[in-house]
């Protein structure tokens, strides 16, 4: 039986691919400190669950393909706080930010087209591009430069007649980079002058730990006709399992095409949309407290990593991830070894190997991404275990 080349070309998730090794380690009684996945331990606001408990309809019916209008109105009000003027007609509710990204790439690209993406990037971007038979053309960024963008000239060298869009996360997953106002404006000008769609994945908007104000691409008026913002309640309100995201765009043709995709999958889940609408009533104090908690966790993990000989990393400016280069021959082999062969008092640590976060062959092979989504004492213990693991690892490269 023959299956599609497109399906075979779809990359496996570097974040989830090693789960079988973790499951085996747990079966053997090991405790694993999970730094590999961005699953916050912050409590979801109680408003979400209260709303679900109050649901008393006799039938759980289909919703509209665009999304629940109460939820849409709450999101419109949310964006107004950031000076981003949108209307009901500019928004589609999706099954998480991932579906929003998948739809956006599919709308932007025909087979053979390409999109520019700063690397390292969220690995699902590669899967969405492969699903559209499109190519990611990487804009390589470096840890030594804080993963900030190269010059405009270097980026424009990558554009050809098949380039359809620029896709990036801001703040960045997996790097934690927050692009400066100058970088945001530079990419906006490139998109405008080369007639490209700009897909801005801004799901970590609230998680910024720097003095310079965060500038959304939605604040750049001159590109509103070609801007698509991807958003989600997953990280903002620690509601990853709700699977409620959205596509936001002032480009009516894009929204019209996106609605076809939404119609094809029917609707987003009714109960979760009700709960998500309630989440947008969460007091700002919740987000301020969460931001401060992640700032403390970032500092603990960053300072701990900097104390391990041979590690190279830079302090993230946003989101809740750190990329680090390890003194090991291969990061994936090292993580598997940590799960299979290494423990201290029955404990070990798991991170995500970073090679799958790059499109350029050979990059990221000795790097890992860590999510600082654990409480402070657990992060300190995870760093301690990582240091001991690197010291004991047979494939260490800086002996």
E strand intervals along the chain: 31-34, 91-94, 114-119, 135-140, 163-169, 197-201, 227-232, 245-248, 312-313, 321-325, 347-350, 352-353, 367-371
Q: Tell me the C-alpha distance between 188 and 159, whole Å.
A: 14
By CB neighbour count within 10 A (0-12 exposed, 13-18 middle, 19+ buried), where does 232 fall?
A: buried
224 shares a domain with 93: yes
By CB neighbour count within 10 A (0-12 exposed, 13-18 middle, 19+ buried), where does 160 fall?
A: exposed
Tell me the three state secondary structure of residue 375. Answer: coil
Instruction: Determine phi and psi for 201, rounding to 5 degrees.
Output: -90, 100
Q: What is the pLDDT along the chain (399 residues), one digit of tens a residue?
A: 999 988 988 888 877 889 999 999 999 999 999 999 999 999 999 999 999 999 999 999 999 999 999 999 999 999 999 999 999 999 999 999 999 999 999 999 999 999 999 999 999 999 999 999 999 999 999 988 999 999 999 999 999 999 999 999 999 999 999 999 999 999 999 999 999 999 999 999 999 999 889 999 999 999 999 999 999 999 999 999 999 999 999 999 999 999 999 999 999 999 999 999 999 999 999 999 999 999 999 999 999 999 999 999 999 999 999 999 999 999 999 999 999 999 999 999 999 999 999 999 999 999 999 999 999 999 999 999 999 999 999 999 986
Number of domains in the chain: 2
239 shares a domain with 107: yes
289 shares a domain with 223: no
90 shares a domain with 25: no
- Domain at 62, CATH number: 3.40.640.10
300 shares a domain with 200: no
Q: 367: which strand partners?
A: 325
- Domain at 316, CATH number: 3.90.1150.10
Residue 397 lies in a domain: no
173 shares a domain with 257: yes
The token duo for 204 is 């970590």
167 shares a domain with 112: yes
Which residues are CB-neighbours of 354 under 8 A, at least 6 positions away?
14, 120, 174, 323, 331, 364, 367, 368, 369
Q: What is the pLDDT of residues 125-156, one digit of tens each?
A: 999 999 999 999 999 999 889 999 999 999 99
190 shares a domain with 92: yes
61 shares a domain with 181: yes
Tell me the three state secondary structure of residue 166. Answer: strand
Residue 115, domain extent: 46-279
Q: 247: which strand partners?
A: 92, 230
Residue 399 lies in a domain: no
Q: 34: which strand partners?
A: 350
83 shares a domain with 10: no
254 shares a domain with 115: yes
356 shares a domain with 249: no
């Amino acid at each position: 039986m023959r299956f599609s080349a497109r399906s075979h070309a779809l990359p496996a998730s570097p974040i989830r691919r090693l789960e079988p090794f973790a499951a085996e380690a747990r079966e053997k009684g090991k405790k694993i400190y999970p730094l590999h996945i961005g699953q916050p331990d912050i409590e979801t606001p109680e408003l979400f669950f209260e709303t679900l408990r109050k649901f008393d309809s006799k039938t759980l019916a289909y919703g509209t393909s665009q999304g629940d209008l109460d939820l849409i109105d709450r999101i419109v009000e949310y964006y107004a706080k950031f000076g981003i003027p949108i209307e009901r007609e500019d928004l589609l509710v999706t099954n998480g930010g991932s579906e929003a990204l998948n739809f956006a790439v599919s709308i932007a690209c025909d087979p053979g087209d390409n999109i520019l993406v700063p690397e390292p990037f969220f690995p699902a971007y590669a899967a969405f591009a492969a699903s559209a038979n499109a190519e990611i053309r990487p804009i390589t960024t470096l840890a030594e430069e804080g993963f900030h963008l190269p010059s405009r000239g270097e980026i424009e060298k990558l554009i050809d007649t098949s380039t359809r869009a620029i896709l990036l996360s801001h703040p960045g997953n997996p790097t934690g980079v927050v692009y400066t106002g100058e970088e945001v404006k530079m990419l906006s000008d490139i998109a405008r002058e080369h007639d490209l769609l700009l897909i801005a994945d801004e799901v970590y908007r609230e998680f910024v730990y720097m003095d310079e104000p965060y500038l959304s691409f939605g604040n750049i008026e001159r590109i509103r006709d070609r801007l698509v913002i991807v958003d989600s309640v997953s990280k903002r309100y620690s509601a990853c399992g709700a699977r409620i995201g959205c596509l936001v765009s002032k480009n009516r043709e894009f929204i019209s095409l996106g609605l076809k995709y939404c119609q094809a999958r029917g609707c987003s889940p009714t109960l979760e949309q009700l709960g998500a609408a309630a989440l947008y009533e969460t007091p700002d104090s919740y987000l301020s407290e969460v931001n401060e908690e992640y700032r403390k966790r970032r500092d603990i993990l960053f300072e701990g990593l900097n104390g391990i000989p041979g590690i190279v990393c830079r302090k993230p400016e946003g989101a809740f991830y750190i990329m680090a280069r390890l003194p090991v021959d291969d990061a994936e082999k090292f993580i598997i070894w940590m799960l299979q062969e290494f423990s201290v008092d029955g404990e070990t640590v798991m991170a995500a190997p970073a090679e799958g976060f790059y499109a350029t062959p050979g990059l990221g092979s000795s790097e890992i991404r860590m999510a600082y989504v654990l409480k402070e004492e657990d992060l300190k213990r995870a760093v301690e275990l990582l240091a001991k693991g690197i010291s004991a690892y047979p494939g260490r490269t800086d002996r």
